[in-house]
Amino acid sequence: MFSLVLSYFSNIVELIAMQKYDYIITGTGASGLMLAYRMIMDSFFDQKTILLVDKEIKNKQDRNWCFWEKEIGVFDQILHKKWDHIFFGSDRFSNQIHIAPYQYKLIKSIDFYEFVLQKLIENSNIKIVNEQVVNIIDNDTQARVETDQSVYIGNTVFNSILFSSAYKNQNTYPLLNQHFVGWFIETEIPVFDDKTATFMDFTVDQKGNTRFMYVLPVSETEALFEYTLFSEDVLTIPAYESEIIKYLQDKGIRKYTITEKEKGCIPMTCYEFRNQNSKNVLHIGTAGGWTKPSTGYTFHNAYKKVNALLPFLKKNNDMSGFERRTKFWYYDLLFLDVLYSKNENGAALFSRLFRKNKTTKILKFLDEETTFLEDLKIMATMPAGTFLWMILKRIFSRSS
């Protein structure tokens, strides 16, 4: 009897000790911080308590984000560089392209972190704690976030931490990786055209994969060179770096200083992360499938998702209804099916896409803003036999 009473009072003490919030955001990467930023900029959330939980403070330069945008954007004040021209290169087609009304934009992560975190700490309804999240439980009426130090209760939890590897352990949807190593280099003399960003240069040896060099010149003496693959398996660091060295030598660039290095691996898949959402827990960012499956772009895609999420929050309290399949999900799935089965043909596919279509229309399509008629016109420029075969293969594999 005494043990039951003790257990009862222990539970009461635990409940009292738990801290309750209207919204909890787990993970303070791009998506988590974007969501928090948009909330504090909207008066609807002025009286809402918001908790951000992450194991560490974001105070280092750890990545670079690029995206294209038509208008002056909300983060233009922290842009590191922007370009009006991009270069696409391959053995089949090469061109320097003016992309107006779009601009290609670069944000360094440290500038983004400092900008958003400074805005957040100025708001009294925001709390940030540095603890490692170990579990998130939806008990139907609210959600429970367990860390290595505390327990927090939220009416709604937005999770950007990728806990599950289920997307890797399935065969329904192909999984490629966008993996890369990049060097920021500085030269003693001007060698770069800083008015043009190299979007994709497929003139590098493909070696049976889809491989390209991505170059962002931020001045005439500074540039990021990023060796990138769309393939299943990652390489050793020296394998990426040797290709960067070779590319620089081929461009006649031999005297330079490496000022910064980066590496990354972004899943490219149509796996339905949205099925992990529940009434009180919404997965966001890469954990929510907010990466564009066919390109690996996440930053701008996540911002568009956040902008759609806020009006949804004002009218709904069931997060499982936020995400829905769109026609672009099917387009991405088909493209990944083709690229997965014939990875060596990536350069040819992208070359054909850029050779037969206006680049601005491609960017609009990748932004998921085209009409169905525009979609059909773009699809008509791709090899019909290859894509038709993949459609039939997927139909019959599902029916068998």
DSSP state of 169: S
Residue 74 lies in a domain: no
pLDDT digits (tens, 9 = 90+) for 47-59: 999 999 999 988 8
190 and 241 inside one domain: yes
Residue 97 lies in a domain: no
359 and 227 inside one domain: no
Query: b/e for 25-55, b at 16 or more Cβ within 10 A?
Result: bbbbbbbbbbbbbbbbeeeebeebbbbbbbe
138 and 237 inside one domain: no
The pLDDT score that the predictor gives to residue 395 is 65
188 and 261 inside one domain: yes
Residue 87 lies in a domain: no
Structure tokens at 240: 């990426």
The pLDDT score that the predictor gives to residue 71 is 86
42 and 190 inside one domain: no
Query: How distant, in Å, are the alpha carbons of 110, 135, 176, 199, 205 from that of 90?
Result: 33, 47, 21, 11, 11
Q: Which of 282, 298, 321 is the last residue of a domain?
A: 321
15 and 139 inside one domain: yes
41 and 129 inside one domain: yes
The pLDDT score that the predictor gives to residue 385 is 73
41 and 115 inside one domain: yes
pTM of this prediction exceeds 0.75:
yes
Residues 6+ apart with CB under 8 A from 343: 176, 208, 209, 210, 230, 231, 232
149 and 11 inside one domain: yes
Residue 69 lies in a domain: no
Is the distance from CB of 30 to CB of 285 less than 8 angstroms? yes
Residue 369 lies in a domain: yes
Query: b/e for 252-261, b at 16 or more Cβ within 10 A?
Result: ebeebeeeee
List, for the chain, all residue ranges whose pLDDT scores fall below the cut of 70.
1-18, 388-390, 392-393, 395-400
pLDDT digits (tens, 9 = 90+) for 285-326: 999 999 999 999 999 999 999 999 999 999 988 999 999 899
Q: How many domains does the chain have?
A: 3
Range of the domain at 369: 327-399
The pLDDT score that the predictor gives to residue 335 is 94
The pLDDT score that the predictor gives to residue 10 is 47
237 and 345 inside one domain: no
Q: Which residue bears the tokens 């031999």?
A: 254
Residue 297 lies in a domain: yes
CATH number at residue 233: 3.30.70
The pLDDT score that the predictor gives to residue 6 is 44
- The full DSSP string for 33-99 is HHHHHHHHTSGGGTTS-EEEEESS---S---EEEEEESS--TTGGG-SEEESEEEEE-SS--EEEE-
47 and 153 inside one domain: yes
